Amino acid sequence: MPRMRRFSSGTVRSKKSASGSQVATIDEECDLVRDTLANVLRTIGSFALPTKHYDGSTFKATMDRLAREVLLKPGSPDRDNNTDRVHKEIRNTVREQRREESREYSQYKEMTTQLLASLVSELKKAFAQAEVEGQHIVTDLTEIEDLTYREEWETLKAKVPETVSGIKEVIARQREDGRTRIQQLSMQLREMREELQEAKSKMERDSLTGLFNRGAMDRTLKLAVKYAHSSGNDLAVFMLDLDHFKRINDTYGHQAGDEVLRSVATVLIKTFMRKNDFVARYGGEEFLVICKDMEESDAPRIGERARQSIEKLKVVFDDATIPVTASIGYAVLRPGETAEELIERVDRALYQAKAGGRNRVVGAE
C-alpha cells in the first residue's frame, strides 16, 4: 500500500508508487462515483416504460435533471448544497416508477393468463365430448393451459397456431353437432384478440400525441432496414426537433407545450400519409418518421413540405398564438448500413440544421 498524507485543504492524496504510477485521489474516486451514478440515472430514464401515471419523456427528463445535479461538485455556485434532498428524490422517483411499471406489467400478465385460461377451459369442455376424434385437441389444450400458468410465452406462441389448426379441422367435421357452442367460443376468441390488441396498442403508443412511441419505432426501423436490404428498395428516415421548445414551455406553460406537441403530431400524420410511412415521437420535442420505398430525390421535397407545414401552424392556447418551427435532418439508407448507423447520420444532419440557424432541412452526407 502506498503511504497517504493529508493536505491542509482536507483532500487526501497519494504518493507515487514504486513503479511510478499515480494512485487515484479521493477527489477522483468521488468524481468516478458521481459519473457512474449519473450514467445509471440516464440509463434508467432512457429505458423506462410509459405508465398511466408516468409519461416516459417526463420521467427521462427528471432523470437527466437529477444526473446533472449529481455531477455538480460541492462548492459549485450552481449546486444545491442539500445533497440529502437530491438523494431522497432519486430514491423516491425511481422507486415509484418501478412500482408503477411492475403494477401495470402484473395487470397485463394477469389479464392475459385469465383470458387464455378461460378460453382453454371452454374449449376443453367442448372437445371432451368429441370422444376419440377430439382427444388430441384436449391434450394440446391441456399443454397450452400448463404453459400459460408456467408463463412459458415463447413455447406458447409456437403451440397456439398448431392447436388452432387442429381445432379448425375438428370443428369442420363436427359442425352440425356443435354449432351453437362453437359460435360462443368464436365470440370469446374475438373478444380476447380485441382486448389483447388494445393492450398491445396502448403499450406501443405515446400517451400525449397518440403517435407510436420510441420502443415501437426501434422495432419498426430494424425490420424496415432488414427489408430494404433484402428487397433493394429505398428507405428514408427524417428526424425533427421543435425549435426553442423550452422557451415555449417557459413562456406559455407546459400545457401549452403539450398542445404544441399534439398539433405538430397532427401535421406530421397529414404530411406523411402514405401506407408505408411510420410517424413516432422520438422523445421530448423530437419526432422521427420512417418512409419505406422513398427515393433519395424525393426526400428533400418531402422534408421541406413538412417544415413549411409546421411553420404555418399557429397553435392557439389561452388566447395566445404560439409560433412553431422545426429543424429537420434526413438520410437515405446506404448498402450494408445498420439501423444504428442510419440513425447516427440522421442525427448529425439534424444537428447541422440546428447549427445552421434552425427552421431548415438538411440531408445527411
Catalytic residue selected from 69, 259, 285, 286: 285
Is there a catalytic annotation at residue 285? yes
List the grid coordinates of 354.
440546428
Sign of CA dihedral 290, 295, 296, 301: negative
Quick check: 69 and 37 in contact, CB under 8 A?
no
List the grid coordinates of 311.
411553420
Beta-sheet strands, E only, within the chain = 4-6, 12-14, 235-242, 277-283, 286-292, 314-317, 320-323, 326-332, 361-363
Which residues face 289 on adjacent strands? 238, 279
User: Which CB contacts under 8 angstroms, 24+ apart, belong to 247-254?
Assistant: 248/322, 248/324, 252/317, 252/318, 252/320, 252/322
Q: Which residues of 284-303 are buried (b: 16+ CB within 10 A; e: fewer)?
A: bbbbbbbbbbbeeeebeebb
Residue 190, CA distances (Å) to 110, 197, 351 in order: 19, 10, 47
Separation of alpha carbons 309 and 229, rounded Å? 32
Exposed/middle/buried for 147, CB within 10 Å: 0-12, 13-18, 19+? buried
List the grid coordinates of 68.
446533472
Residue 40, CA distances (Å) to 31, 73, 192, 340 in order: 14, 18, 39, 22
Exposed/middle/buried for 358, CB within 10 Å: 0-12, 13-18, 19+? middle
Quick check: 181 and 235 in contact, CB under 8 A?
no
Separation of alpha carbons 68 and 340, rounded Å? 26
Separation of alpha carbons 99 and 97, rounded Å? 5
The residues that are catalytic are 285
